[in-house]
Structure 1
Amino acid sequence: MIEKIYIYHTNDVHSHFQYWPRIHEEVTRQRKLHAARQESMFVFDIGDHIDRVHPYTEGTLGKGNIDLLNAAGYDAVTIGNNEGITLPHEALDKLYENAQFDCVVANLFAEDGTRPNWAKPYQVFETDNHTKIGLIGVTINFQYFYEPLHWKVTDPFEALQHWVPIVKEQTDIVIILSHLGLSDDQRIAKEFPGVHLVLGGHTHHVLMNGELVEDCLLACTGKYGNFLGKVELHYDVEKRKMVEKKAILMETMQLPNTIGENQQLKAIAESGKQLLNKPIADLPYTLETDWYQDTELNQLLCSALTEWCQADCSFINAGLLVAGLEKGIVTEYDIHQICPHPINPCIIRLPGAVLKEVLAQTFNDPYISLQLKGFGFRGKVFGKMIYDQITFNGKGAAMEIYINGEAIDSKQLYTVATIDIFAFARFYPELTRSEKQFVVPEFMRDLLKWKLSNMFPLT
């Protein structure tokens, strides 16, 4: 007897809900069809479903996303870096407390090495024909962010080396939920014989019909809910053997409109707005921003960074602020709208000679008009570099740079505050190689709220 098993999957939705009503409707429809045919069906998410760029996710700290997954009948998820490192420790620890599905992640632990009660290294599902499916989840180990958030994340391949043999012993089919990226998914397929399917995420790769590597099928749906993945497994129950595997992607834009989907989306957005409708400051005048010029608002954010990090100086790109603030009451929602990025402050310690080289690079910045994508940036363009406690005199080789009014001492060690992007993305290579400390769980917008509430307090 050949049993057909159907798996539907999403990854890297990043709180882009524009097609979520259609995804919900489609998996609900398919569940009824498969049930009528007595076929087994499962639905999985491979992480980064949440993204605090959306006010609903920000206002609920991700729990609203869990409600959406519950309503759509998901069976299991793993976490991505957006679940893992953009939430405060307590918020992640409580994220799945009302989940009606399993969260499988084998390489995440509490600071003391114990496994949190909401995270399972694996889960076993059983079909109507008693075929056992073992599910193992792994997430990318951004330890520099997890550790200051009091989590311990380990090498995902070491976790797989431990758990794959155990799960293979208990089950007929082994599936990995991998929020690692395509190259690591390919590595899993090569290094772990007997893994039948890797459902991937993180690098937003689009595999329209999957990719077969060493008899292991890889599948991924890209990003933002643009596709819903469907995998069909044909399993010979008597011979206990997989006989066929195939994957397709369904473009969600082409799925039928759901009844009232616009109203659903508006309700989600309005709910987030209401949750963030908390006054934080009262501006006596409008604060404008400009991606290509210094303004009071972007200077204010940069000085807040210096103060918060107790640094000697700081620099940021003007594109962090996507809009200005109107005169009058400013709410958390307003701040979220103008600074939507899940970007943390970062403290970097540099000798004066290195700092001078880096600042000279930023001063002659080729990235000012770059339409930056990824790395947590949710704005439009990179923008001009904004400085606090840093001044320049002259140009080229003769240019002099001052920190707090004094010429840079090439031998002195300086504490510099900036954004996490510059510490891991190779805009300025010296920064990626230097001693650094990520400031978590605060985002740049939290510093802006703090500064505005102190400068323009509510009356």
Structure 2
Amino acid sequence: MNETVHIYHINDLHSHFDSWPRIKQFLAKRKKSHTEAGEEMIIVDVGDHIDRSHPFTEGTYGKGNVTLLNEVGCQYAAIGNNEGITLPHDKLDELYAEADFKILAANIFNRNGDRPSWALPSVIHETKNGIKIGFLGVTAYYQKYYELLGWKITDPFQVLENEMSIIKKEADVIVLLSHLGLYDDERIAEDFPDVDVILGSHTHHVLHEGKEIHNTLLCGAGKFGYYVGHVEVSGTGREMTKKARVYETHDLEPAGGEALFAENLYAAGKKALSSVVTHLPVELSAQWFEPSDLPRLLCEGLTEWCKADCSFLNSGLILDKLPEGAVTKFDIHRICPHPINPCLVELEGNELKEILLQSKSQDWPELQIKGLGFRGRIMGIMVYDQIKFNGHVIEINGRPLDKDKTYKLAIPDMFTFGRFFPHLQRLEEKHYFMPEFLRDILEQKVRHAGSPAAI
């Protein structure tokens, strides 16, 4: 082809809006420049634009994020796990009602197997000179979580095999929007050589000039709006050239009013969450290194919500106290912003004992945590409900732990991920409560604490 196509990609913003005005201004200027040069420009988002830890996203259930993507001229978007499994079914189903862009999500279906009305597996984008660019989108294969929310998610590699057999017959260039992570992107490049460009995300990787595997160019633009990715494609077939780079938003020209923009979004979220939950007769404390009210209430609520024998969690989940007086949904969100779900596991007594002994490690309180849904700073001390340590004896519900008995333990879902408790990670049977977040439990307990019966 004689023309050059410029694809600009954003991924994993996670509702970090500080750089958004600068990104918007940058893309607008690029659009003007490419248009004047007679070149095609396409803007895409590769998922996790939303993050319910931000009050603007929480207050609009992500629809505010869709508006922002409309305003920058986004044309195609994949969904990430934050769109897919942190929103209730009905909220995801209506999320893109006002989107001016197409949603590419080849491996998500309704429970009955039909494709959602808002999702397409792929699309052919035809340039003004008649070049056909095939765009596909796939998202991470979190099967259990999607099923709990009423969706059906399928293996992205199987879906790709089916879709590629169709799209490669029509497209001159094939571009994949992948919310799978770098490791899977590398595997796709090996297994599907007809994919020309992979715009990656999920693992927050930055590929400053892309990474070539055989005939495929892998790209990634980090996280939080720190970068904007740019792929330049010229030619087709053996004559095709592909170049990738990223622009660091810190180095872009400042946009007018950008600090006020972020403040205004926060204020809009606060207003949307302004409904009063309860009135507290006294302050409820929150401490990370000593016992306090709110972590204790949340832990009690976790046991009750999951109908468990006992529970434990880390005090760092609560970021601040609640003062006496009116408590709003914004206040609950502010002190417990994490998109973390309750989880119930069943353990034999000897397994539970081992987990509880691990939980007493002196390394936990100061541990800094990143990811896994946690949006705080440090772990904090462990807080227990219906669990007591009397010397070498552990009591559950006032009785010595029986190594031959099966117990139901409630925990934050992040304890089943990563390196916290390897045995919990390896358990085959884990029951996640969705779409409830820990803050839903906290809200219920705080409401009760402010009720006349509790005063």
Provide the TM-score with structure 1 as the length reference: 0.97
Q: Report how far residue 295 of structure 1 moved.
A: 0.7
Q: Report how far residue 364 of structure 1 moved.
A: 2.3
Q: Which whole-Å deviations, capped at 9, do the CAs of 1:8-32 have from their partners, x for residues lacking one?
A: 0000000000000111111111111
Q: Does 1:252 align with 2:249?
A: yes
Which residue of 1 is the match for residue 328 of structure 2?
A: 331
Distance in 2 (CA, whole Å) between partners of 1:458 and 1:140 is 46
One-letter identity of the residue aligned with 1:65: N
**Within 5 A, what are the aligned runs for 1:32-71?**
32-71=32-71
Distance in 1 (CA, whole Å) between partners of 2:450 and 2:223 is 40
CA pair 84-242 structure 1, distance change in 2 beyond 3 A: farther
Secondary structure of 2:119's partner? coil
Which residue of 1 is the match for residue 425 of structure 2?
A: 432
**Within 5 A, what are the aligned runs for 1:289-438?**
289-394=286-391, 399-434=392-427, 435-438=429-432
Q: Report how far residue 242 of structure 1 moved.
A: 4.2
Q: Report how far residue 366 of structure 1 moved.
A: 2.2
Q: Report how far residue 241 of structure 1 moved.
A: 4.4
Q: Are the counterparts in 2 of residues 11 and 201 from structure 1 also a CA contact under 8 Å?
A: yes
Secondary structure of 1:291's partner? coil
Q: Which whole-Å deviations, capped at 9, do the CAs of 1:242-294 have from their partners, x for residues lacking one?
A: 43111111011111111222222222111111000111011111111111111
Q: Are the counterparts in 2 of residues 19 and 252 from structure 1 also a CA contact under 8 Å?
A: yes
Q: Are the counterparts in 2 of residues 124 and 171 from structure 1 also a CA contact under 8 Å?
A: yes
Which residue of 1 is the match for residue 141 of structure 2?
A: 141
Secondary structure of 2:52's partner? coil
**Structure 2 residue aligned with 1:447, among 441, 450, 454?**
441
Secondary structure of 2:19's partner? helix
Q: Does 1:261 align with 2:258?
A: yes
Distance in 2 (CA, whole Å) between partners of 1:184 and 1:429 is 23
Distance in 1 (CA, whole Å) between partners of 2:238 and 2:71 is 34
Q: Which moved more, 1:136-145 or 1:5-14?
A: 136-145
Q: Percent of counterpart pairs with the same letter?
A: 48
Q: Which moved more, 1:48-57 or 1:32-41?
A: 32-41
One-letter identity of the residue aligned with 1:400: V
Distance in 1 (CA, whole Å) between partners of 2:378 and 2:242 is 42
Q: Are the counterparts in 2 of residues 280 and 457 from structure 1 also a CA contact under 8 Å?
A: no
One-letter identity of the residue aligned with 1:410: K
Distance in 1 (CA, whole Å) between partners of 2:140 and 2:63 is 22
Secondary structure of 1:169's partner? coil
Distance in 1 (CA, whole Å) between partners of 2:364 and 2:202 is 25
Distance in 2 (CA, whole Å) between partners of 1:425 and 1:144 is 17
Distance in 1 (CA, whole Å) between partners of 2:235 and 2:97 is 34
Q: Report how far residue 367 of structure 1 moved.
A: 2.2
Distance in 2 (CA, whole Å) between partners of 1:268 and 1:366 is 37
Distance in 2 (CA, whole Å) between partners of 1:148 and 1:223 is 28
**Within 5 A, what are the aligned runs for 1:11-90?**
11-90=11-90
Q: Are the counterparts in 2 of residues 209 and 246 from structure 1 also a CA contact under 8 Å?
A: yes
Which residue of 1 is the match for residue 113 of structure 2?
A: 113
Stretches of structure 2 lacking an aligned partner (at least 5 in a row)? none
Provide the TM-score with structure 2 as the length reference: 0.98
Distance in 1 (CA, whole Å) between partners of 2:314 and 2:201 is 29
Which residue of 2 is the match for residue 103 of structure 1?
A: 103
Q: Which runs of structure 1 show a deviation greater than 6 angstroms over 4 or more consecutive aligned residues?
A: none
Q: Does 1:193 align with 2:193?
A: yes
Distance in 2 (CA, whole Å) between partners of 1:107 and 1:15 is 24
Secondary structure of 2:430's partner? strand
Distance in 2 (CA, whole Å) between partners of 1:31 and 1:9 is 13
Distance in 2 (CA, whole Å) between partners of 1:141 and 1:424 is 15
One-letter identity of the residue aligned with 2:448: N
Distance in 2 (CA, whole Å) between partners of 1:243 and 1:417 is 55
Q: Report how far residue 37 of structure 1 moved.
A: 1.1
Q: Which moved more, 1:425-434 or 1:4-13?
A: 425-434
One-letter identity of the residue aligned with 1:154: T
Distance in 2 (CA, whole Å) between partners of 1:58 and 1:243 is 43
Stretches of structure 1 lacking an aligned partner (at least 5 in a row)? none
Secondary structure of 1:189's partner? helix
Secondary structure of 2:53's partner? coil
